[in-house]
Amino acid sequence: MAVPQNTIWDNFLSPVVRLLIDEEALKRYALSIDWEQESDRIRSNDVTVPNYYSSQNFHGIEGGYLNSSAAVSYDPITQYFVPPNETWVRQALIDAIKVQPRRILDLGCGTGSTTLMLKQAFPQAEVIGLDLSPYMLVRAEDKAKTAGLDICWQHGNAETTGLEDATFDLVTASLLFHETPATVTQAILRESFRLLAVGGQILMLDGNQKTLRQVEMLNDVFEEPYLREYAAGSVDASMGAAGFAAVRTQDIWWIHQLTSGVKPIPAADARNQKNFQMSAPRSTETTIDNNDLEGVGSPAFGVVV
């Protein structure tokens, strides 16, 4: 790991974490994979790496996520920096899912920790993990293979995925937005809106913006080039601006937050539906037939907002 900045991580935490991590085991793992060959297999030549991403170091690693050292060290380090317990925090996202998803997209999936949990929670769903770093995807793919989970790993930019309109019931991202400039965050939310079917849900898990504003020193723990910009913003407001309805942010412990939103029925369709309901003769039957909801185009029946 290169040390280009004097962060709290470099000065105090890194030596402690190094004691906790089995560095020899990590080296053995790193050497067990031909990272260049494997990342070339996953890399798509259609993907242009944006400047905000390639020009910065993240977590003090030179070249950010575009190397194998980021992919190998990410999980062992992250477990100590998502308190009180990484799995518990990620589980909060899973527990907040209100749809019965058939297709799930996890944006900026990294090494796939949340993506794997999504597939475990919804084994019948098609799950796609998308990331700009083919190295992180190699690690994610290896984890899924070990866990026996069938997940599609896709090299791509969450701002412009190239995936088809309205083909997902659930779009998620964990720990992504604190690493993207505000304009990129907004572009990713617009893209998520485009990808979701009406009634589909978006869930964004990340650092607690309120806490980051209140406890200034948290912004200096790691080398995080866009963290202050993230802290100054509001994912809640950005989600609303992207067109989502029923937007709600909840604190997960005091250090994280989870924002949920739903893609609403377009206003014109909602008006037509209301007119139709008003002009249709009232039925006295009490049997509920959900099949007629399929015409609305939402696979996300039973969404509770």
Ligand X SMILES: C[S@@+](CC[C@H](N)C(=O)[O-])C[C@H]1O[C@@H](n2cnc3c(N)ncnc32)[C@H](O)[C@@H]1O
Binding site for ligand X (CB under 6 A): 53, 65, 78, 108-110, 113-114, 130-133, 136, 157-159, 174-176, 179-180
CB 222, min distance to ligand X, A:
10
CB 117, min distance to ligand X, A:
10
Q: Which one, 157 or 249, has the nearer CB to ligand X?
A: 157
CB 104, min distance to ligand X, A:
13
CB 51, min distance to ligand X, A:
11
CB 268, min distance to ligand X, A:
32
- CA–CA dist 194, 267 (Å, integer): 16
Q: Which one, 78 or 91, has the nearer CB to ligand X?
A: 78
CB 7, min distance to ligand X, A:
15
CB 175, min distance to ligand X, A:
4
Q: Which one, 113 or 260, has the nearer CB to ligand X?
A: 113
Q: Which one, 111 or 201, has the nearer CB to ligand X?
A: 111
Residue with nearest beta carbon to ligand X: 110
Q: Which one, 67 or 78, has the nearer CB to ligand X?
A: 78
DSSP string, the chain: ----S--HIIIIIHHHHHHHS-HHHHHHHHHTS-HHHHHHHH--TTPPPPHHHHTS-BTTBTTTTSSHHHHHHHHHHHTTTS-S-HHHHHHHHHHT--S--SEEEEET-TT-HHHHHHHHH-TTSEEEEEES-HHHHHHHHHHHHHHT---EEEE-BTTB--PPTT-EEEEEEES-GGGS-HHHHHHHHHHHHHHEEEEEEEEEEEE-HHHHHH-GGGGGSS--TTHHHHHHS-HHHHHHHTT-EEEEEEEETTTEEEEEEE-PPPHHHHHHHHHHHHHSPPP------GGGGGGGT-S-TT---
Q: Which one, 233 or 264, has the nearer CB to ligand X?
A: 233
Q: Which one, 88 or 266, has the nearer CB to ligand X?
A: 88
Structure tokens at 188: 């990713």
